[in-house]
Amino acid sequence: MSETNHAGALAGIRVIDLSRILGGPYCGQILGDHGADVLKIEPPQGDDTRAWGPPFTEIDGVRVASYYLGLNRNKRGIRLDLASEPGRAALITLLEGADVLIENFKTGTMEKWGLGYDTLSQRFPRLIHCRVSGFGADGPLGGLAGYDAAVQAMTGIMSVNGSPESGPLRVGLPAVDLVTGLNAAFGVLLALQERARSGKGQFVEASLYDGGLSLLHPHAANWFLDGEEPRLTGNAHPNIYPYDAFPTRTEAIFLAVGNDRQFERFCKYLGHPELAQDARYQTAGGRSSHRAELRAELVRVLADQDGPALAEALIREGVPCAPILTVSAALQHPHTAHREMVVHIGPHYTGVGAPIKLSRTPATYRLAPPVRSEESPVTKESHA
């Protein structure tokens, strides 16, 4: 999808994004995609992720990593040294008329600079101050820095990801950082909705720790009910079966059979309706309890099948199934293009599109990431 002239759902909302790395910038990008005017303010040395590569590209004489490009579109960019008095004064000026402030400094930093919520809310009572943090400000871990992989380990995510052979594994993408960015954006929208009634801003916090725990379904629900420690099950779902990866004659597929009707259709399509009549497999609970026997049966039945062709046929029969694609194959899939999930801005930027589709006010892609962030004009005046 190319640049459009549609005003987004957040048109007229001004956002100051002081955040770096992932969760905060992802929040800012979501708001920007939907029409907010987002000003990204980086420290003098720039966002750390500018150097997180390879791969790198050079744009207008600036070497920048793909990691940074993937999180900072639809933002204008300047640099300020908030550790200096002129930098803080410049920020105060920029906050005049702003609706949202996003930051992910270590707890206490903004307060040390005289920019904490209690102070800013006195001067800007309508301001929504969104903080992305590791663990929140207080409690046993309050104020500590958080990192995606460490929080995956601490919140139990790694303990349920992997197989008995591999042991616990980090999820292969920054799931905690990403969900925290989503939670931050959601929190900002909730606060904007409430402000429309009260006229008052508020403090919004999204922590990595809370976000990691929120991802534990169904493992947390299972533990609350039976008290049993979840086991590593590899690709298999802990509650339902067959919900697992299976080899075929060609490429592996993933089956996600969630109810009895789907299992009956699956068995009938494969020419083995007797499997659905087997007393062990007639119910979801039975299939899950007898998963080892059922897996052995299905591995045998699928051994002569062409995986991608079977997956295509089964999903059209109403049986959830998919080929296991590489990242490049997924990004080049015809349905990805149809859903406008790969977007371009200018000659240098390609990224993943916004997953939320609005009929009247769709996301737009107006600004490539600010590769060359300028010094604030306010700061320049203060130096004159």
Full strand arrangement of the beta sheet holding 128-133:
203-207, 128-133, 100-103, 14-17, 37-42, 75-79, 374-375
CB atoms within 10 A of CB 36: 26
3-class state of residue 14 by DSSP: strand
Catalytic choice (33, 177, 210, 244): 177
What's the sign of the alpha-carbon dihedral 335, 340, 344, 350? negative
In whole angstroms, give the CA distance from residue 52 to residue 250.
37
Say how far apart CA 153 and CA 171 lie, in whole Å.
10
Which DSSP state fits 11? Answer: T
Question: CA dihedral in degrees (360, 363, 365, 368; nearest 10)?
Answer: 150
Residues 6+ apart with CB under 8 A from 303: 247, 248, 249
Element (H, E) at 67: helix 66-69
In angstroms, the CA 40 to CA 339 distance is 28
Cβ-count burial of 274 within 10 angstroms (0-12 exposed, 13-18 middle, 19+ buried)? Answer: exposed
With beta carbons less than 8 A apart as the criterion, state whether 131 and 17 touch.
Answer: no
Q: Does residue 177 carry a catalytic annotation? A: yes
Separation between Cα atoms, residue 355 and residue 29, nearest integer Å: 12
Which amino acid is present at 47?
Answer: D
- Measured distance CA(356)–CA(25) in Å, rounded: 17
Q: Tokens 């002129």 belong to which residue?
A: 86
- For 37, phi then psi, to 5°, come to -90, 105
As a 3-state breakdown, the chain gives helix, strand, coil percent values, each rounded to 5, of 40, 15, 45
Give the catalytic positions in this structure.
Answer: 177
